[in-house]
Structure 1
């Protein structure tokens, strides 16, 4: 598995199109999206711990609501969220920011793990994808989806395809004309041959859920 963004060389989208004509058609319609782009509005300031706070806040809710929760946490801590600030808030003040009981406990588990040296979110670059996922998911509340989002957007790994993501599964159902939503295992089997460019395939599949851009009409 890849160990960083440089693991993908050459022409990832061209190779994906060669491997699967459906991906070629999607590339023609949706272009070549940057798989590592993360539109957080500058909230996390490229800080990895703050990014994980946002990823946890965004579990199973819309991005817009996740932004609201993160902004409340930042206001409550008075600074960019860091481990000490999260612990200082405690469960009740985190709940007052709008987090569920579970998510408040997950943020505290992350902060305590970072402070206690059980994980170092800034020291994952030298790990393989599998090792980084294992380190992250060892923290309570950090599931595979959250870990994979971190690998994509913070570690910029080239071969990440979150097979359990509902958007990915819907895109596969639509793109390949399936009769039903595929299971994560079905998606994993279908996409295994796309390695080591599955991060690019992920970006393309998510893009395909939106209407394709219509070229501007020529000026008259």
Structure 2
């Protein structure tokens, strides 16, 4: 597990350089995010594949059934040892069964080197994971930000973030990826931290 960033350094940077974010830093700091262990990477990404286009309670139930089938923690070897029929029997659709097995194979054959992620750049990790069927941009960005705690990730595929950014900057429309990169340039190298604060504001707004 890599060392957690010193988020307080990012807090000072955002307060001094991004006026629109300063009130959010004051309200929601400190950021509690810490990197997850290497041993959990496979399960986290596996969960991302299963959870796509499903309500949270359904994906959680499927993960529990998968753990019952393969054991906990779930390993690539255990996923491949389970037959396709067994995986289908717990409620997974065939496409996701194929995705899970392909991901497990990629880890075992070394196409995905999760044991080296801590020493790889964001772009190197993204390049590896984008080759895996079922792992899309949103899942990979969430993994970089929430599991690896990389400090400069902008989840341009995340609707909640994009909607809040539109509100905060009084934009006429929800910004697209290229525009988001331009708008958040002054947040570097602490864009992940800024995103986390924006998410907290969105959560508060949802509760009202």
User: Which TM bucket (shorter chain)?
Assistant: 0.7 to 0.9
Q: 2:194 aligns with which of 198, 201, 218?
A: 201
- The question of 1:158 aligning with 2:156 is answered no
Q: 1:76 aligns with which of 66, 69, 77?
A: 69
> 1:1-220 to 2 correspondence within 5 Å?
11-36=9-34, 46-211=39-204
* 23-32 or 71-80: bigger deviation: 23-32
TM-score if structure 2 supplies the norm length? 0.84
How far is 1:6 from its partner? 6.4
Structure 1 vs Structure 2 CA RMSD? 2.7
**1:108-135 residue CA offsets vs partner (Å, 9 max, x unmatched):** 1110111222222122111111111111
CA contact (8 A) 2:3 2:35 kept: no
C-alpha separation in 1, matches of 2:40 and 2:56 = 18
How far is 1:74 from its partner? 0.5
Change (3 A) 1:166 1:37: farther
Change (3 A) 1:98 1:19: farther
CA contact (8 A) 1:114 1:120 kept: yes
Change (3 A) 1:129 1:138: same
Larger proportion of helix? 2
Structure 1 residues without counterparts, runs of 5 or longer: 39-43, 213-220
Change (3 A) 1:175 1:107: same
TM-score if structure 1 supplies the norm length? 0.80
Equivalent in the alignment of 1:217: none
How far is 1:204 from its partner? 1.0
Structure 2 residues without counterparts, runs of 5 or longer: none
- How many aligned positions are there? 205
CA contact (8 A) 1:109 1:140 kept: yes
C-alpha separation in 1, matches of 2:35 and 2:55 = 18
**1:188-213 residue CA offsets vs partner (Å, 9 max, x unmatched):** 2211221111110121121111227x
**1:36-72 residue CA offsets vs partner (Å, 9 max, x unmatched):** 478xxxxx99522112111222223343333222111
